[in-house]
Structure formats: C-alpha cells, structure tokens
A and B are shown apart, each in its own frame.
Chain A
Amino acid sequence: MFLINCPFCGERDQSEFSSGGEAHIVRPKQPTELSDDEWAEYLFMRKNIKGIQFERWNHVHGCRKWFNVVRDTSNDKILSVYKMGEKPPVNYK
C-alpha cells in the first residue's frame, strides 16, 4: 500500500488516490489530421515499463487534483512527485 506524497496535501494512503496510467501522453492538437495508426498510437499504446515509469495520479478522495509521479515499478518506490504542467525531473530517464 503506497504512501503517496500529494503535491497539494502531503503524504496520504494509497486508498485516497486513483491511478491514471502513463504520464506525458499529450492529446494531439489536431486529431483530425492523424492517420488511424497515429491516432491508435495516442489512444492505445502504453509503455508498461519494468523500472522507472512516469505516471498520472489523482487525489480523488482528497483535493481532486491530478499530478505526476515517478515510480520504479520493479520495487514500487515513488521517486518523485510533481504538479501537472511541470517538467519531469531530469535525473530519471
């Protein structure tokens, strides 16, 4: 059970949050100009990495804010949290 450091509320139990999958997948600005394959790439394709992964989480039973998390999926350690719109920390790749 993770202990997640919400950038707005501080450390809270995982049960207060919901996961929103991979982070930094930007919705295409002009979807109509994409081919089926390009759109499918945005819509369906996710990395599902073993190791350091950038994820979106929502403090759904708290401040309702979405934010980003850097998590090592091999040991579930959360390495960093940062707000939406902020650049991911450079020391994780």
Chain B
Amino acid sequence: MPNYRINKTEYIDETKRVSFKYDGKTYFGYEGDTLASALLANGIHLVGRSFKYHRPRGIVSCGAEEPNAICQIGSKKDLTEPNVRATELELYEGLEASSQNCWPNVKFDIGGINNFISPLIPAGFYYKTFMWPKSFWKKVYEPLIRLSAGLGKSPTEPDPDIYDHKHVHYDVLVIGGGVSGIIAAKMAAKNNLKTLLVDDKKILGGSTIYQNNENIKIDDKLSSEWLKNEIQEIKKLSNLTIKTRTSIAAYHGYNFLLAKENLTDHLPEEKKKNKIRQRLWKIRAKKVVISTGSIERPLVFNNNDRPGILLSNSINKYLDYYGVTCGENIILFTNNDSAYETSISLHKKGIKNLIIDLRKSASSELIKQAESLGIKIYFNHVVTNTFGYRKINSLEIMKLSEDGNTTVGDKIKLSCDCLGMSGGWTPMVHMHTQSGGKLDFRDDDQVFLPKENSEDQISVGSCNGDFDLENIIDKTVNKINKFLYINNQDYKDTKIICSKENDKRNIWLLPNKIPLGKTKCFIDFQNDSTAKDIKLALKEGFRSIEHVKRYTTTGMATDQGKLSNMHALGIIADTAGVKMGSLGTTTFRPPFTPLTFGTLVGRNVGKFFEVVRKTSMHEWHVENNAEFENVGQWKRPWYYPKNGENMHDAVQRESKAARDSAGILDASTLGKIDIQGTDASEFLNRVYTNAWSKLAIGKCRYGLMLNEDGMVYDDGVTTRISENHYLMTTTTGGASNVLSKLEDYLQTEWPELDVYLTSVTDHYSTASICGPNSKKILNKLFPNLDLSDENFPHMSFKEDKLKNINCRIMRISFTGELSYEINIESKYGHSLWKMCLEAGKEFNLTPYGTETMHLLRAEKGFIIVGQDTDGTMTPSDLQMDWIVSKKKYDFIGKRSLYRSDTIREDRKQLVGLLTDDPKEILEEGAQIVSDVKSKPIDMLGHVTSSYFSPNLNKSIALAVVRSGKTMKGQKLIIPMENKNINVTVSDTIFLDKENKRLNA
C-alpha cells in the first residue's frame, strides 16, 4: 500500500494507529488525522461522484468549504449520517464511511453515462424537459427524479443520541481562533471582559499554526512558533473560555448567536455511549469579534474537477499539519503569492513541484525565495486542460495574451499527479452579513468586504480583507482597542516580518481555444454547474444573481457555494459587462454548515417535545381505556371504547345513554377566567355581543365574543357570582388567546375600567352531568340542595358542599339535556369524578368523551367555535342574530356587523343538511354544489360538522352554504370521489326545538 505520510508533525501522533473502513475496505491512519488526511495518506483522492454528471471527484480542500469529499457515516438505521465532510471529520477507531452518489461503486458508476450525454442536460434541464406530457409527471418523471436526486441517505429511525442546549452570556464573543482571533480574545480577557473564544477545529491557530516560512517571522520566531506561545498564554487567562470543535451556526440580531459544539463525534463508538453528542450554545454577547478568516479560491479552467486537483493551501496543510503529501509530482497553478508558500514547503520536503502563474511577473520575498530554490515558474501562463479519468496525470498550459482574453503560442504538456490551484482568497463574510452588515467590493483583489462595523460587532483579520500578517496584527490590535474602549499595549513592540504581495491578476473564467460549449469549466463542484451554465442562464434572460443561482443551482448544495459563489458572480459581471461590486451577492443564510435536527431540538424530544396538560381526572380516564384527543395542549378523553367497540359504536352508545338516562363529561379543560372589579359588568357589556348589566347574581348567561372585524372569536357561559365578580368560561383551545385579548382591551383601550382578570382554568376541575336522570344523581350528591326548577332553574348557579368541600354548581347545558356542571378545587377533581360515578351507578351514568359531546350539541344545532366557524363567520351568518344586542351603543366588533361586506346576503351561512339516504354520513370538509355539470363547478360551501345521530336514527350535518339562510328545503349535492350524495337543506336544530328536555 502506498504511503504518502512523509513528514513528522506535532499534530499527528504516530504512536496511535487508528483503523477505519472506507467503502468497505480497512485502512489505517493516526490520531490527529481527519478522514480526508488519512485517505490522502493512503493515496486515495477519488472519494465521490458528482451530482449531475457523475464525474469522479476527489478531495479539494481541508475544511468546511469541501464540496466533494462528503460521505455517509455508519450504516445503522438510526445513527447513519449523510453529507459529512471528510475534511472536518476527525478519525476514530472503528469509523465506517462510504462515498455517496454512486452505484454500484465510486470507481465504476453507472450514472457516469450522464457525463457523456451532458450536452443534453444543460442548466434548467429539469424545468424544460419534464413539462409535458402532463400526465407523465406523477407516474414517470417524479419517481425517476426522486430516485436520482439527493446526496446520501437519511437515517430511517429516530436519532438515539443525546443533544443539549446551553444559554450563556458574555461581554465579548470571538469567532475564530486564528492569529487575529487569539489576539482579540487575549486583549479582551486581559481587560477584565468575560470572553468566549470559539473555533471549529480541534486546535486553535488557523492557518498560521502550520506556517513555517523563514520569510514570515514575528519577534524573530517562525509565525507558527510565536502563535503557539500566544495560545499557551491565553489558556492561562481566567476570564477567557475557549471552546474548540465549536462552530457558529447562526448570527441573529442583538448579538444572539447559535454555536454547535461537537463533543463525541471524534470518539470511538464505545466511548460515545451515554454522552452528549453535540451541544447547541445560545450565546448573548455584548460585543462580537468576527475573525473567521478566508477561503482559498479555485480557478475555473477546462476539466478543473479531476481527483488530484486541490486548493493549493490545502496541499500545504496536508503536508505541514498532517504530514501527508498529496502527490509526488505536483504542479501549482496560481494568480497570487500564497501558492509559493506551498511550493517552498513541498520543495523543502523533497517533493518535486513547479508553478504556473497567471501574472506576467511578480516580485516579493516569497517569489525570490522560490526562484532561488530553483523552482520552475511559468509566468503569464494558464492551464487549458487536464487529463486522467480517476486521477489527474497530466495537463496542458498555454501562454496568455497581453490582455488575458485569449491564449497564444503552443501548448505545453506537463505530467503531474496532483495540481494545486489558488485563485486568491475570499474573506468569510458570512457572520458579518448574517448579523445584518453590508458589504463593499474591493476592485484591487476582487473581494467583498464588511462595509462598516457597528458598535457591537467588528470583523478583523483576513475576513476583513487583511491578508498579510503585519497588516492583520497591526489592524487587529488597533481596531480591538477602539472597539472595546481599552488601551492594551501587549503588542506595541511586536516585530513582524512578512512577504508583501505586490502583483495581482484575476481572470474569473480562464481563456481557452476550445469553445466554451465543449469545455467542462466547473464553478460549483457539488452541484455540477459550469461556466457554460451561467452563460446560458444570462443568454436566456436571467439577470439577478439570485435568479441565476436558482436556475443553475450554483451555490445551492450542502456547501452552499463557499467555493463557487464568487466565480459565478465574476463570470456574470464579465459577461454582462457590469461591475462585480454592483451585482451584490446572494444572501448568506444560516446555518454556516449543516446542522442535524437533533442539535436544534436538544432535549425537547419524545415526551418533552410539547407541553401536555392533563386534568385531575386523567388517571381515571386512562384506567378506563379512554382514547384521547389533543385539544390545545390538553389531553381530552375522546371516547371510552368498551368490549372492543370501535369509535362509532362507542359514540353511539355514549350518546344514547346521555339522552336516555345520564352521561358525565370531564369539562375541566374549558378556559375559566375570574373577572372582578366594580366595572366588571360594563366590561362584559363591551366584550360580548349581548347585554350583561341586568344579569342577576347567581345567574348564568351564554355570550358570543367577536373580533373587531365582526367575526365570531369565542363563546362560553359566564356566571355572576356576586355583584362585582364573574366567572367566564371560554373554549378549551381559545382560553389563552381570549385572556390576552381581554387584557389588551383592558390595558390599552379602557384603562379607566376597574377590572381584574385572572386565569383559573387549572384551579377548578369540572364534572358535567347531563340527561333526564341527572337531577336524581345531583340529589344524591347534594341532598341538602333544593334542585327544584323554582329554586334552581336552568341558567343559574348555586354553591354547596360535598363532604365539606365547596362546590360551584351551574345548571347549564351544551347537550340540550337537563344538565349540571360541578366545579371543585382541582385537587379534589378526581374524588368528585369518582363520587359522581358512584352516585350515578344505578342510573347507568355513562362517561362520554369529546366526540359524543360534539354529536349531542350538533343534534341541538349548537356551534363549536373553530369547527363551524373559521374566522369569517358573523353572528348573523350563524343565524344567531338573537344574541346581538340592538340596544347597546358599542361592543367589540359591533360597527363591523354592518359594513357593506358583512351585510351581503350571499355570504356563507350556517345551515343544517339531511342526507336523502339517512344512513349516509357526510365527510366533514366536503364541498357542496348545486350542479355537478357546470364547468367550473360553482362551489357553494362545505360541511363543517357531520354525525350519525342515534337519538334521531339518521345522519345529520351542519354546513356553511352561500345564501344558506334562504335555501331551506332545497336539494344540494355533495360530490365525492366516486359518487354524488344528495342532501336537503334543513334547520340547524335537529332535536327538541322546544327545549323541553332542559326541564325534563
């Protein structure tokens, strides 16, 4: 097996061998390796197939920007993870990784045929091709596209890992632990500011930590040596927290940032167990220093995507940090000085290399050094093609014309096994723009830079466009002193020597004799978009960068175009003849690198996903096999199946029992608002549509609450407990919104009213007993209470004691039956429930759930707000004009009731529906029409409630229908998938119109 590990470094521990599997084969690396460096040490460049053309692709970079080396980790259904960047994944014993987007394997991939038919798949191919015939979409195109789309495989079972959240507050947050970040953190912490420094890598130091060039020195030491000392220094600072393996995912307003800390991803399987995998830090920082550095740019030339073509600086890091050379015969292709550092490093380790430089000439310390070492340099040359299918083996170069627009002279063919490219550097302005900062364009080296720094956020170092070390350190120190209002003198005498780059030349799309249509000049490696695609998009009329991005999918893959966006912009600018700065950039959206859902939800999974509210009777419901329904956050019994009943049978039995003898409902979840104050009556007058001033003490009244737009918002019964004391009930789901709304009016519109609102929903439990025998049951429970209609009529309230415990008893009814609601302090709710059942035993007192409650009230035509209404129904639409006071001068929503739109006669109005076949039960939500033949079919309304009534022995339904009020007796049609159901419009009250049962 070849071994490309040629250099000893302090970051690789050669005493600790680590074995891992890649595509099923076992390899070895060392502790300190990433998966990428270990693969390269084994001579493996080919790590994937490209998304669209399935071209072989190799490792390109050494960091978060990696477009190609993304792999699937593990194979377990619950733990496998796709799209992991091999360049960031630290190697651990037992790691299993595989390449993605290839079948049957990365070396022989069937999809590779796409490469040969690529002229047939231009930008927008899918949009253009799969348009017709229309019928093909569902059965042919969509399944086909889905089969070939997507990178990697998602886990198919719940994530068993533990994730954590942590909230922290700091004076200063420093993002990125390179030279400038370390200086900023040290200055802040030494000046008594509580500081947090985060870095996504395992160790601090950025790219300077492996910089060993004699031309770059600080205080007479190699820059890397100097920086190591600084890191030792800052580790001693008590004010400074350092978090490595931690990357900022999002920078929100008000310096609120999310950071992901990796805790176990680098550990072997057995050590991961029972540990927190990742922690999401929620950081509030008074000031934020952004020192995220910059990313090297690729160059855009024909076949620039072959395995073995890397970024030049990455070759340097693999060599000087991981001890791995990416080849034995390396060519570096550059337009700037940084590739010379790589070249010199390679040369020192005995690796043959030469340089192709776009620039006509260049002079700096580094270039002189390379020349004096005898490194061959081709100035004013350009790579025009590369060769080698699974790995580069040679390339062609040509001379550039004076203006750089064409090539001249003869081709020179050079052999190589690795090509390093450097198209300059792109400052990582993601954090700056996420925080709301604007960008400026610097023509000199064609970079977007932070435009201004705000009071609480600053960019320093190369993410601010400062590239040489002297500039970086001097500017960082000055800016940090001003930014933090401190006067730190630690770096006053720091002596910096570094090579200064004097010459620049940038060409976004490198010239070629071959027409563009026949070249493969890749811009976005992961999404396979080429320079040709960008030009095609422009030709087809796309102008905005955001549109070009989406049409060509440039910058839309998991790497979010970290390597490609600038080139796309550059080529658009050149082609359209506009200035790049005026184009602007696409939006930098969080997260910076992909986050797993587990990290975002943290501990809020399973039973902690959502708050669950249970009544004090809940245990009884569980013991008695209730099926539950979620209403708001409440768990409400839905129905109580007995002896293997299905829902329909259970509901029919419960409904019949309630009307024939007695039923009991847990009504504890209804919202309850305690209203007190000398203006309580006036307040109710203003919030309900009906009048309240004359409600006698001890009486109850049903009220309808509107929004200011006149639409029904909530309803419920309110009881006058004493002169200035009411108890309001609301719908279960609407309780908190109603309280907020009432508070809003009280605090903002009517602050003069003496009214106090308190939510008491949780304080009282409620058992509602209804049916002809309910009075007898009440009598057993409250033998001293006079239950006669004279003393305790419908819509009234009494207080009595149940075994010395106070109860509030309301005689109110939502079922149309004689009915009592017993309220008791919640801690006695469970006992109350059991006592009621005990007392009701001889009367077959039957517990019923929400479904039966809905059925019973529908028989009576009582609405449920939110089921029969949807925010567009006025009281009149509901045929409830009787509840709207004509006398009251004002109440919430009154004026809206006679707006031109609300008095229209063809509004949708609530009606009853009876099916011609009484056994046919309509589907709630079903559309209603009068004529199925007209085209388009005129939709008149829809079914809102539908049940089979056991008490009437027929199907009943409520519906909203256009002009429904005038349609009683008319025939309508409910068109279903395979039949039309005939119905007749009826009254909304189906049972006991005379309300005889209330006093039965």
Contacts and interface: CB of A to CB of B under 8 A. Distances in A.
A66 B899 contact: no
Contacts of B749: 26-27
A40 B436 CA distance: 36
A2 interface: yes
B905 interface: no
A39 B747 contact: no
Contact of A76 (B284, B436, B709): B436
B748 A66 contact: yes
Contacts of B254: 1-3, 76
B895 interface: yes
A64 interface: yes
B740 A60 contact: yes
Given A18-B740, A31-B890, A66-B744, A85 B436 contact: no
A31 B253 contact: no
Contacts of A34: 895
Contacts of B896: 39, 43
B894 A31 contact: yes
Interface in A42-69: 43, 56, 58, 60, 64-66
A31 B890 CA distance: 7
A66 B751 CA distance: 11
B169 to A, nearest CB: 10
B759 to A, nearest CB: 10
Contacts of B740: 18, 58, 60, 64
Given A32-B889, A34-B895, A43-B896, A3 B284 contact: yes
A31 B743 contact: no
Contacts of A76: 253-254, 436
Interface in B713-749: 740, 743-744, 747-749
Contacts of B256: 1, 3
B748 A84 contact: yes
Given A32-B889, A60-B740, A66-B743, A39 B895 contact: yes
Interface string A28-44: 10111010100110010
B895 A40 contact: no
B868 interface: no
Contacts of B899: 36, 39-40
Given A60-B740, A76-B253, A84-B751, A43 B889 contact: no
A43 B711 CA distance: 13
Q: Which of A32, A43, A56, A58 has the most CB of B within 10 A?
A: A43
A89 interface: no
B252 interface: yes
Nearest to A83: B747
Contacts of B284: 3
Interface string B747-776: 111010000000000000000000000000
A59 B135 CA distance: 53
B489 interface: no
Interface string A65-93: 11000000001100000001100000000
B81 interface: no
B456 to A, nearest CB: 10
Given A43-B709, A43-B896, A75 B751 contact: no
Contacts of A27: 708, 749
B747 A32 contact: no
Band of interface residues on B: 20 to 34
Interface string A2-25: 110000000000000010100000
B751 A85 contact: yes
A84 B252 contact: no
A8 B894 CA distance: 34
Contacts, number: 53
Nearest to A64: B743
A32 B743 CA distance: 24
Nearest to B749: A27
B436 A1 contact: no
A56 B744 CA distance: 10
B280 to A, nearest CB: 14
Contacts of A43: 708-709, 896
Nearest to B736: A60
Residue of A34, A66, A76 ringed by the most chain B CB atoms within 10 A: A66
Given A40-B899, A75-B436, A32 B894 contact: yes
B806 to A, nearest CB: 28
A2 B284 CA distance: 10
Given A36-B900, A43-B708, A75-B436, A20 B744 contact: yes
A39 to B, nearest CB: 5
Nearest to A76: B253
A14 B740 CA distance: 17
A43 B894 CA distance: 12
A45 to B, nearest CB: 13
A60 B736 CA distance: 10
B287 to A, nearest CB: 14
A58 B890 contact: no
Contacts of A60: 740
A1 B252 contact: yes
A20 B252 CA distance: 22
B253 A66 contact: no
B889 A58 contact: no
Interface in B877-903: 889-890, 894-896, 899-900
A84 B751 CA distance: 9
Most buried by A among B708, B890, B895: B895
A43 B902 CA distance: 14
Contacts of B708: 27, 43
Contacts of A1: 252-254, 256
Nearest to B454: A75
B466 to A, nearest CB: 26
Contacts of B743: 58, 64, 66
A81 to B, nearest CB: 14
A64 B899 CA distance: 33
Contacts of A39: 895-896, 899
Given A75-B436, A76-B436, A65 B747 contact: yes
Given A32-B889, A39-B896, A39-B899, A58 B744 contact: yes
A59 B456 CA distance: 26
Contacts of A58: 740, 743-744
A2 B436 CA distance: 13
B510 to A, nearest CB: 41
A30 B894 CA distance: 11
Nearest to A32: B895
Contacts of B900: 36
A32 B744 contact: no
Contacts of B748: 56, 66, 84
A58 B890 CA distance: 25
A30 B747 CA distance: 19
Interface string B167-187: 000000000000000000000
A2 B890 contact: no
Contacts of B894: 31-32
Contact of B890 (A3, A32, A66): A32
Contacts of B744: 20, 58, 66
Nearest to B901: A36
A65 B598 CA distance: 35
A24 to B, nearest CB: 10
A73 B201 CA distance: 37
A82 to B, nearest CB: 13
13 contacts: A3-B254, A31-B890, A32-B890, A36-B900, A39-B896, A43-B708, A43-B709, A58-B743, A64-B740, A66-B748, A76-B253, A76-B254, A85-B751
Interface of B: 252-254, 256, 284, 436, 708-709, 740, 743-744, 747-749, 751, 889-890, 894-896, 899-900
Which 7 A-B residue pairings sit nearest by Cβ, starting from the closest? Answer: A31-B895, A1-B256, A66-B747, A3-B254, A1-B252, A76-B253, A27-B749
Given A28-B895, A43-B896, A66-B743, 9 more contacts: A18-B740, A31-B894, A32-B895, A39-B896, A56-B748, A58-B740, A60-B740, A76-B436, A84-B748
